[in-house]
Structure formats: C-alpha cells, structure tokens
Amino acid sequence: MNQAPRRILLTGASSGIGLQAALQLRCAGHRLVLPCRDAATAETTLRRLAEAGGGPEPLAPVCDLADLENVERCAAALTGLGEPIDSLVLNAGLQYSGAPAPQVSSQGIELTVAVNHLAHQLLAQRLLPLLIAGRDPRLVVTASEVHDPAAAGGRVGSPAGLGDLAGLRAGLRPADGFAMVDGVSPFEAEKAYKDSKLCNVLFAREAERRLRERGTPLPVIAWSPGLVIPRSSGGFFRNSRRHNEWGQRLFALVARDLLRLSESVENAGARLAALAADPLEASGGFTYFSNRVLGPGRLRFEAVSPSAEALDDGKARSLWTLSEALLR
C-alpha cells in the first residue's frame, strides 16, 4: 500500500476482517470512514484503532444496516459533507445460523438480506456521486464462496438460489409468508445467508454495468475471503444462536486445526485492505476473487468465475430493480 493516502469508506469495521483491514489501512495513513451500527460500537471501534496508532483519526458515523431509514440518514449526512470517496468497501455481513425462524429489520424485512444486500445497495446508490468524484475510485464487495453451489462451502446444506425473485417481489416480509428471496423455500438461516452472498455478487456485476453504461466506468471487485475462523473463539458465526455453540466449536477444531482449511482473520483483513488501497491494473470492469483451498494448509487467492447464477445478466438487472423498489 505504498501510494498516496486514499479516502476509504468501510462497513463492518467493528470486528473480524473489517477491523483487521481498518487497523492496517489506518497504519498506512489512509483516511477512513467507518459506519457503525450504534454510538457505543462506534466509540469502541475508534478506541481500538486509537490504541493501535497510525494515521488520521477515522470518522465513525452511526449507520444501522438493519434500518434502511438510518442508512438513508447516514448517507445524507456523508453526502452533505461532500468529501469524495476513493474506495467504497461494502464488507459488513450478518448470519444468524441455527435460528429456526426469520428475524426482521426495522422495516419488517428478513434480516439477512436486509443487512447484507439491501442496506449496502442503498448506501452505494446514495454515495455514488461521492465515489465517482474520488481519485481512481473503486467499489469492493465482500461476498463468499457459499454463493456458488459448486464450491466446497456451497455444497454444504441447501444451495444458494434466488429462483424468480418472488420473495423480493413480495417484499421479503415473513408476516406475509415470504422470508426467502425465491419466495418458495421454507426459511433456513444458512440458505438465507448463501442467497444474500449471491445477491452481493449480482449487485456488484450490475453496479459495474450501470457505471460503465453511464460513462463512468470504474473497477468493481467482489471477493470471497474463504473460511475465516478466529483463534479467539470456537466458531465463526458471530450472530449465531447460542444452542449451536458446541457444534461450531467442533467444526472450528476440525476445519481449522485438523484439516487446516481455514484462513486467519489477520490474513483475510490484509487482503481486504489490499483490495481497498493497493494500485489496480485495470481502470474498470468486474472481477471476482476467491481464496481457494488447494489442500490442507494450502490456499490460493486468485481471480475466478463466480457461479452460473451470479453470471445471469437478466437476474442481476431484476435484482437491482426490485431491490431499488424496496428502498424507496
């Protein structure tokens, strides 16, 4: 990251790979805007960054991704400041694995897709003028290999699949009988997460297309960090229900320590920091990177093709349009 400091907005910087990326980016002298879900989280995040030292003090506005009105207010405040954004990094993610029933956002929408997809599309659409005004701007979206039914993670449990987006057309409101994007599957927290990550890739591809067609092409990167299991905890689903704890601890032991298939939080954070700040060869276009497992203890981070459904241009357009309608 040996270049002039960049102005970087990064969601999900209060923990996990987002926090690790923020620590490295600040130490490298970049100027950070780190939206946090509430004032207490913002205070804690700023304190942790201050303790680590480094560059300019970040800005941590309140931006609760589970409340679209709150996201709208945050975006309006940032737009009012008028500070260009060089890297818009949509990284925050929610998964409440093991939950038998859907949770909902402030607008009554199933929480996984509300936070992981809809809130980020809203933030991106509102902040687009600031991004276009940035220096060598780029958009980075944290997805996951589980979006792909053919990938190792995607083969575990029910596969990702959005169908004809009937759930989005109905508003994804569990009270109306639609908690899943496809509108027909029974609620399953793990599939909801996979579907949201598929939405992330489709959103990124459609954002790149729209920017290019309006004459403002810029690089759009979606990426999968791989299976990230922190050493400090037994599991990796930070929003999981407590009754799943021992199963997660066992999974972590096997995947991380015995089979050595996982990535460290530190390495994943370093990759995210590099995607946000390192010079890019291309001045535009869409790229999907995945941290592929080649064998025990052997990972390779490289550009690959996303899933077949993620490459469906018609579905990408429909997802954007239907999501935009929910955001009004």
In-domain check, residue 179:
yes
**Measured in whole angstroms, how far is the alpha carbon of residue 285 from the centre of its chain?**
19
* Per-residue confidence (pLDDT) for residue 48, from 0 to 100: 94
In-domain check, residue 32:
yes
Q: CA 14 to CA 88: how far, in whole Å?
A: 16
User: Which of helix, strand or coil describes residue 314?
Assistant: helix
In-domain check, residue 140:
yes
Q: Do residues 204 and 142 touch, judged by C-beta distance below 8 A?
A: no
User: Which of helix, strand or coil describes residue 4?
Assistant: coil
DSSP string, 36-55: BSSHHHHHHHHHHHHHH--S
Query: Whose structure tokens read 């009105």?
Result: 69
* Per-residue confidence (pLDDT) for residue 245, from 0 to 100: 53
* Per-residue confidence (pLDDT) for residue 145, from 0 to 100: 93
The partner residues of 301 in beta bridges, in order of sequence, read 291
In-domain check, residue 226:
yes
Tokens in use for 269? Answer: 């954070």
Tokens in use for 239? Answer: 């929003």
* Per-residue confidence (pLDDT) for residue 153, from 0 to 100: 80
Which residues constitute the domain of residue 209?
Answer: 7-326
Tokens in use for 192? Answer: 């909801």
In-domain check, residue 1:
no
Q: Do residues 273 and 259 touch, judged by C-beta distance below 8 A?
A: no
User: Which of helix, strand or coil describes residue 125?
Assistant: helix
User: Which of helix, strand or coil describes residue 220?
Assistant: strand
Rounded to two decimals, what is the model's pTM? 0.90
**CB burial readout 78-116, b (16+ within 10 A) else e:** beeeeeebbbbbbbbbbbbbbbeebbbbebebbbbbbbb
Task: Beginning with the edge strand found earlier in the chain, give each strand of the sheet holding 7-10 in spatial order.
Answer: 31-33, 7-10, 87-90, 138-142, 219-224, 285-295, 298-303
Q: Give how many domains the chain has, as a whole number.
A: 1
Per-residue pLDDT of the chain (328 residues; tens, 9 = 90+): 457 899 999 999 999 999 999 999 999 999 999 999 999 999 999 999 999 887 889 999 999 999 999 999 999 999 999 999 999 999 999 998 888 999 999 999 999 999 999 999 999 999 999 999 999 999 999 999 999 999 888 888 899 999 999 999 998 889 888 899 999 999 999 999 999 999 999 999 999 999 999 999 999 999 999 775 565 543 334 444 444 554 454 444 434 444 444 568 898 999 999 999 999 987 789 999 998 655 555 567 899 999 999 999 999 999 999 999 999 8
User: Which of helix, strand or coil describes residue 89?
Assistant: strand
DSSP string, 165-213: -HHHHHTS-GGGT--STTSSSPP-HHHHHHHHHHHHHHHHHHHHHHHHH
* Per-residue confidence (pLDDT) for residue 296, from 0 to 100: 56
Pairing assessment for the beta strands 298-303 and 285-295 based on DSSP bridges: antiparallel
In-domain check, residue 13:
yes
User: Which of helix, strand or coil describes residue 292?
Assistant: strand
Tokens in use for 218? Answer: 């810029």
Q: Do residues 185 and 165 touch, judged by C-beta distance below 8 A?
A: no
Radius of gyration, CA atoms only, the chain: 18
In-domain check, residue 154:
yes
Q: Do residues 154 and 145 touch, judged by C-beta distance below 8 A?
A: yes
In-domain check, residue 106:
yes
- Would you tell me the crossing angle of helices 119-132 and 313-326 to the nearest 10 degrees? 100
Q: CA 3 to CA 167: how far, in whole Å?
A: 44
The domain that contains 200 carries what CATH number? 3.40.50.720
